[in-house]
Amino acid sequence: MGEIMRLLMDPLQHAFMVRGLIAAVVAGGLCALVGTYVVLRGMAFFGDALAHSILPGLALGYLLGGGSREALFWWGLGAAILAALGIGALSRGQRLKEDTAIGVLFAGAMALGVVLISTTRSYAVDLTDLLFGNVLGVGERDLIRLGIFAGIVAAAIVLFYKEFLVISFDPVLAVTLRLPTRLFENLLLILIAVTVVVALQTVGVALMVAMLVTPAATAYLLTHRMPAMMVLSVLLAGFSAVVGLYASYYVGIASGAAIVLTATVLFLIIRGIVEIRS
């Protein structure tokens, strides 16, 4: 027992681990909450594309902000909201199939981001941080910013709970109830965009989609009630964040990837159990 306590407490001696844990749990939980809608509305590809499309914004923030994370955040946020609304508008067009149009744009945006970053000298290191996150590098100001934005997004999800449910489950009903459907749809896209930027330091651009869909997909297998799905999704994400970070501390592996792998393993186990029981 004492040994287990020691294993659990030891990493908390380091301030960077404590900050990293808080950041990973809050960001992971937020992704999981918003992710319930990503899963239910079938927007996984949108989430993936969105995360990748903000790379040029991040690169610009990086080049112009001289490496300040503050600048990185705001540039990332601007790029994310633009990308979210842009992709949203694109998906309402009719000429090309939606996923084709998104695919073209997001790969292009990502290439532009890589080109921009490659003009700097420490290219490889910086790119790795943006792509895969660096949760152990989270500072106090980062944490405060994360807390504020996570609070805003979570509050919006709770306050507009019934509206988001109606537009997601039955958009035609939303119209006959004369809800401003387009407004709520765009609001949801913006909330997803903010979430992606806020969570960026945890897992980075490349693994973001896993934070959005994996815990929510696991929760979806476990319950047929929306509130329960949201709570379970957040709990699963928090658990994955903690396990992933400890694994990263003791085994010396990349933290973001460890978190995502934990969530994935949880999904596979529960998927297996559900399969066997039915």
Partner 1 sequence: MALTKWWRKVTLREREAGHAPGEPLLEVLRVSMHYNGVVALEEISFTVEPGERIAVVGPNGAGKSTLLKIIAGVLTPTAGSVRIYGHGPQGHLCIAYIPQRNQVDWNFPLTVAYVVLMGGVGMMGLLRHPSARDWEAVRQALERVDMLDLADRPIRALSGGQQQRMFIARALAQEAELLLMDEPFTGLDLPAQEGILELLEGLRRQGVTVLVATHDLEQAAAYFDRVLLLNRRLVAFGIPEQVFTPEALRTAYGGHLRLVQIGDELIVVGDTCCEGG
Dist CA 118 CA 114 (whole Å)? 6
Scanning 72-80, 97-105, 139-147, 218-226 for contacts with partner 1 by CB under 8 A, the matching segment is: 218-226
Q: Which two tokens stand for residue 60?
A: 């610009």
CB of 167 to partner 1, least distance (A): 10
* 194 contributes a contact to partner 1 by CB under 8 A: no
φ, ψ (nearest 5 deg) of residue 199: -90, 0
| Given 12, 107, 148, 173, the residue binding partner 1 (CB under 8 A) | 173
Q: Cβ closer to partner 1: 6 or 225?
A: 225
Interactions with partner 1, residue window 37-96 (CB under 8 A): 40, 94
| Given 129, 142, 163, 185, the residue binding partner 1 (CB under 8 A) | 163
CB of 171 to partner 1, least distance (A): 9
Using an 8 Å Cβ cutoff, are 38 and 44 in contact? yes
Interactions with partner 1, residue window 219-278 (CB under 8 A): 220, 223-226, 228-229
Q: Cβ closer to partner 1: 91 or 181?
A: 181
CB of 213 to partner 1, least distance (A): 15
Dist CA 250 CA 254 (whole Å)? 11
Scanning 53-61, 142-150, 158-166, 240-248 for contacts with partner 1 by CB under 8 A, the matching segment is: 158-166
Long-range contacts at 85-93 (CB < 8 A, ≥ 24 apart): 85/186, 85/189, 85/190, 86/53, 87/46, 87/49, 87/50, 87/53, 87/189, 88/185, 88/186, 88/189, 91/46
What burial class does residue 127 get, using C-beta atoms within 10 Å of its C-beta: 0-12 exposed, 13-18 middle, 19+ buried? buried
Dist CA 260 CA 110 (whole Å)? 21
CB of 163 to partner 1, least distance (A): 7
Using an 8 Å Cβ cutoff, are 54 and 197 in contact? yes
Scanning 79-87, 141-149, 170-178, 204-212 for contacts with partner 1 by CB under 8 A, the matching segment is: 170-178
